[in-house]
Amino acid sequence: MTIEPLLSPCPSPPPCSNLGWLSYGALKGDGILIVVNTVGAALQTLYILAYLHYCPRKRVVLLQTATLLGVLLLGYGYFWLLVPNPEARLQQLGLFCSVFTISMYLSPLADLAKVIQTKSTQCLSYPLTIATVLTSASWCLYGFRLRDPYIMVSNFPGIVTSFIRFWLFWKYPQEQDRNYWFLQT
């Protein structure tokens, strides 16, 4: 048995979102943002390393990863060197992180046309949809509690897109994979 089919066609992006929110949390002095995004960045890094280990097309993945990390470094250079005012830096970094998070939550809708055309939700993950709605709702509530519009507003699309995907799962139920066998325990 080969590992290739078990890997997704493209890896998760480098931990750019986690590192952005980690910087935002550090600048704001928010321990919860710091801890959660440190763990998230570490897990994303481990995922990328494991993916690269098994990936047959390392050159493409390395190029994508290097490009995103280059963009991340340019962003850090901008925020830490060209924006000396900490309050302005916090506002601009919050906006940057929000845009990145919103685009992350909207990305699964790229498969919307494929789902409607094929009348199949095979390309969508139900467990990931549940995790997304729970995570984005938690962060929305946390942002509301802190009265932080960057945290609150950037996570709201996660709730909306999750409910769109739930509707798609209801409208086009997934068929059981006939090639999958449960192991008897």
| Per-residue model confidence (pLDDT) at position 167 | 92
Locate the DSSP E strands across the chain: none
The contacts of residue 168 (CB under 8 Å, 6+ apart) are 112, 115, 121, 124
| Per-residue model confidence (pLDDT) at position 142 | 96
The contacts of residue 163 (CB under 8 Å, 6+ apart) are 133
What the chain holds in terms of domains, given with CATH numbers, is: 10-82 (no CATH), 107-174 (1.20.1280)
Q: And the tokens for 108?
A: 């699964």
Amino acid 119 reads: K
Amino acid 163 reads: F
Average pLDDT, 10 consecutive residues per value, the chain (185 residues): 39 69 92 94 87 81 82 83 87 90 84 85 88 94 95 93 92 65 52
Burial of 51 (0-12, 13-18, 19+ CB in 10 A): middle
Maximum CA extent, the chain: 62
Please compute Rg for the chain using Cα positions.
19
Report the distance separating Cα 167 and Cα 182, nearest Å: 28
Whether this prediction's pTM lies above 0.85 is answered by no
| Per-residue model confidence (pLDDT) at position 157 | 93
> 69-78: long-range contacts (C-beta < 8 A, 24 or more apart)?
69/14, 69/16, 71/16, 72/14, 72/16, 72/19, 72/20, 75/20, 76/23
Q: And the tokens for 173?
A: 């139920």
| Per-residue model confidence (pLDDT) at position 176 | 54
Contact yes or no for 64/52 (Cβ under 8 A) = no
∠ CA(140), CA(130), CA(53), 5° rounding? 105
Report the distance separating Cα 167 and Cα 172, nearest Å: 8
Q: And the tokens for 144?
A: 């509301």
Contact yes or no for 179/126 (Cβ under 8 A) = no
